[in-house]
């Protein structure tokens, strides 16, 4: 197996076994790469349907089951999370609007329904938070932009309406950068959100408020949006689990950055939680056509439980040829590959043909095609140039028709190359980012190469999940990105579940 310094060239591969991985890295190096990880048996937090001693650390499945069986009331659960938000939010600034009294009233109603033998749905009485870029009826939804600082939507976004119909109770909104257009979570209304593992660092963006409050135990789940990595990067930065579905799986109706346009396929909504099993529960609830978002496809969503891991063909790479990651991140990805090898999967060290060009192509597409839309969004929101954080929009030169056509053509050629590579694989394992959670202010508008590991799969539109696979020398989470074929979220989630079990999964911060 080649080392990171001689990363596998495009189209070239090495087939390896678990023994090869161990011999190449040495057991000591693998151990260093997964500092802080434990086996499933040793993990301190539940991965199944059992409640934890502190209710706020319990999985969504555990909470839903306990409420249905009346082991615990919805009021007790909602109050536990509201109390936890009160304890941690002053430090991390993740929740920007609360519905405390309304949430408790809804919980009382849920308990009353149960006493009559009525169950609304699989999330009956379970609380949630929702990213502030997603409309919530009757609750201020700012999109992180000054012009909407007091705006109250008249109706719920499709995903919110579906979760409520399934029985979920909204507790509050979580912070987002302006119109979700940043890998850090900060805006001119609410300020910056802090990482609960290190308050001097970002929880990522744009779903950083969601990831921070989930990791801190203030919410069991949230819905994020992902335009260049905005679900997967925050999941990596805070050690939680999240999935960006296939383009066309989940309606974006009611999201601040709307569906449509030349870059429509980049933006997806998806669930974020502490445990992979909860992603498998939540994704079917929010998926499928709503007859408003014109790009949603009525595709089936297979059950991850039916995936045979031993039949999978898996490629992995620790260097995408754009930005070299830290040694610890490379080691965690390689350790993940060894877990799948041990499960009987065929493992090749290989990276997709054309991946080295994907960053340049994505940046060109954003710079050519985004500014007119973004300026229109600011105008519609009533945000002036002086009030916005998106100053780069007004510095970018207008693109010519020829430049736009060339940008779209290059995107399609790269997508074609990448898709041809996936003919031979079911799954790709790779880093989520070149670094663990960065210090506040580290994102450079002119150099987003560390974020290219997620951006590539917004370009392709393929599903990608993240689960914690290790810990950095600074004590920060390290995620592993699992990418699948279009419409095969079941495969992605099955692999994520195995890695969560074997590499330790979520580990609560001390906050």
- The pLDDT tens digits of the residues spanning 40-78 come to 333 333 346 799 999 999 999 999 999 999 999 999 999
Residue 90 has pLDDT above 90, yes or no: yes
Please state the rounded mean pLDDT for residues 414-435: 98
User: Residue 125 corresponds to which tokens in the numbers above?
Assistant: 């009485």
Distance, in Å, from the CA atom of 449 to the CA atom of 38, rounded to the nearest integer, reads 31
Please state the rounded mean pLDDT for residues 191-211: 98
Distance, in Å, from the CA atom of 273 to the CA atom of 423, rounded to the nearest integer, reads 31
pLDDT, residue 501, reads 98
Distance, in Å, from the CA atom of 227 to the CA atom of 396, rounded to the nearest integer, reads 19
The sign of the CA dihedral 119, 123, 126, 131 is: negative
pLDDT, residue 420, reads 98
pLDDT, residue 446, reads 61
- The pLDDT tens digits of the residues spanning 341-399 come to 999 999 999 999 999 999 999 999 999 999 999 999 999 999 999 999 999 999 889 99
Residue 20 has pLDDT above 70, yes or no: no
User: Residue 165 corresponds to which tokens in the numbers above?
Assistant: 């119909």
Whether the CB-CB separation of 73 and 67 falls below 8 Å is answered with yes
- The pLDDT tens digits of the residues spanning 206-248 come to 999 999 999 999 999 999 999 999 999 999 999 999 999 999 9
Q: With cut-offs at 50, 70 and 90, classify the pLDDT of residue 474.
A: very high
Helix axes 74-92 and 60-68, enclosed angle (nearest 10): 150
pLDDT, residue 396, reads 84
Q: CB under 8 Å to 119, separation ≥6 — which residues?
A: 68, 113, 167
Residue 28 has pLDDT above 70, yes or no: no
Q: Is 230 a catalytic residue?
A: yes
CATH number of 17-503: 3.90.1300.10
Lowest mean pLDDT among 28-32, 62-66, 180-184: 28-32
The sign of the CA dihedral 167, 172, 175, 181 is: positive
Whether the CB-CB separation of 236 and 208 falls below 8 Å is answered with no
pLDDT, residue 39, reads 36
Residue 397's Cβ-side half-sphere holds a number of Cα atoms within 13 Å equal to: 6
Helix (H) or strand (E) holding 499: helix 489-503
pLDDT, residue 447, reads 81
- The pLDDT tens digits of the residues spanning 146-173 come to 999 999 999 999 999 999 999 999 999 9
Q: With cut-offs at 50, 70 and 90, classify the pLDDT of residue 14.
A: low
C-alpha distance across the termini of the chain, in Å: 41
Helix (H) or strand (E) holding 406: helix 401-422
User: Residue 117 corresponds to which tokens in the numbers above?
Assistant: 């033998």
- 8-state DSSP, 467: E
Q: Is 131 a catalytic residue?
A: yes
pLDDT, residue 22, reads 45
- Residue 241 neighbours by CB distance under 10 Å: 29
Short-list 296, 4, 19, 362, CA closest to 158: 296
pLDDT, residue 17, reads 53
Whether the CB-CB separation of 370 and 182 falls below 8 Å is answered with no
Helix (H) or strand (E) holding 164: helix 158-165
Active-site position among 59, 207, 225, 230: 230
Distance, in Å, from the CA atom of 38 to the CA atom of 312, rounded to the nearest integer, reads 25
CA angle 456, 486, 20 (to 5 degrees): 70
Please state the rounded mean pLDDT for residues 444-457: 89
pLDDT, residue 6, reads 36
Cis peptide before 158 (omega within 30 of 0): no
- The pLDDT tens digits of the residues spanning 295-342 come to 999 999 999 999 999 999 999 999 999 999 999 999 999 999 999 999
Active-site position among 131, 146, 173, 244: 131
Query: Residue 219 phi/psi, 5° resolution?
Result: -160, 145
pLDDT, residue 251, reads 98
Residue 178 has pLDDT above 50, yes or no: yes
Whether the CB-CB separation of 201 and 476 falls below 8 Å is answered with yes
pLDDT, residue 48, reads 61
The whole-chain average pLDDT of the chain stands at 92
pLDDT, residue 49, reads 77
- Residue 356 neighbours by CB distance under 10 Å: 17
Could you tell me where the beta strands, DSSP code E, fall in 286-337? 313-316
Short-list 286, 305, 280, CA closest to 61: 280
Active-site position among 182, 186, 206, 211: 206
């Amino acid at each position: 197996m080649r080392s990171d310094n001689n990363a596998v060239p495009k189209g070239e591969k090495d087939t390896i076994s678990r023994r090869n991985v161990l011999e190449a890295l040495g057991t000591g190096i693998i151990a260093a790469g997964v500092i802080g990880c434990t086996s499933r048996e040793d993990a301190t937090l539940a991965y199944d349907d059992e409640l934890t001693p502190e209710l706020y650390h319990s999985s969504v499945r555990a909470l839903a089951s306990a409420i249905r069986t009346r082991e615990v009331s919805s009021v007790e659960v909602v109050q536990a999370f509201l109390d936890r938000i009160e304890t941690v939010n002053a430090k991390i600034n993740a929740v920007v609007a609360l519905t405390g009294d309304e949430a408790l009233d809804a919980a009382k109603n849920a308990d009353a329904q149960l006493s009559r033998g009525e169950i609304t749905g699989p999330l009956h009485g379970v609380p949630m938070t929702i990213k502030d870029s997603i409309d919530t009826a009757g609750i201020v939804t700012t999109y992180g932009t000054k012009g909407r600082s007091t705006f109250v939507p008249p109706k719920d976004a499709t995903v919110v309406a579906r979760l409520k119909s399934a029985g979920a109770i909204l507790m509050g909104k979580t912070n987002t950068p302006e119109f979700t257009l940043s890998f850090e979570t900060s805006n001119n209304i609410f300020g910056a959100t802090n990482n609960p593992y290190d308050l001097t660092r970002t929880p990522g963006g744009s779903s950083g408020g969601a990831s921070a409050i989930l990791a801190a135990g203030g919410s069991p789940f949230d819905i994020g949006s992902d335009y260049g990595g905005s679900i997967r990067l925050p999941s990596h930065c805070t050690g939680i689990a999240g999935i960006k579905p296939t383009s066309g799986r989940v309606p974006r109706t009611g999201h601040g950055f709307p569906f449509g346009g030349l870059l429509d396929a980049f933006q997806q909504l998806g669930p974020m939680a502490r445990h992979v099993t909860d992603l498998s529960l939540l994704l079917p609830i929010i998926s499928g056509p709503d007859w408003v978002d014109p790009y949603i496809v009525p595709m089936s969503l297979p059950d991850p439980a039916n995936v045979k891991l031993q039949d999978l063909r898996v490629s992995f790479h620790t260097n995408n040829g754009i930005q070299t990651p830290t040694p610890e991140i490379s080691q965690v990805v390689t350790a993940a590959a060894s877990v799948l090898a041990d499960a009987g999967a065929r493992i090749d060290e290989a990276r997709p043909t054309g991946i080295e060009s994907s960053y340049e192509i994505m940046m060109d597409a954003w710079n050519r095609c985004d500014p007119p839309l973004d300026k229109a969004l600011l105008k519609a929101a009533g945000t002036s140039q002086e009030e916005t954080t998106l100053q780069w929009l007004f510095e970018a030169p207008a693109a010519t028709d020829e430049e736009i056509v060339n940008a779209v053509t290059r995107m399609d050629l790269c997508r074609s190359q990448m898709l041809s590579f996936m003919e031979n694989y079911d799954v790709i394992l790779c880093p989520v980012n070149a670094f663990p959670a960065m210090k506040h202010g580290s994102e450079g508008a002119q150099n987003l190469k560390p974020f290219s590991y997620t951006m590539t799969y917004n370009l392709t539109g393929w599903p990608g999940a993240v689960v914690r696979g290790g810990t950095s020398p600074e004590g920060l989470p390290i995620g592993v990105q699992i990418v699948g074929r279009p419409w095969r979220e079941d495969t992605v989630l099955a692999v994520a579940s195995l890695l969560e079990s074997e590499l330790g999964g979520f580990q609560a911060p001390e906050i």
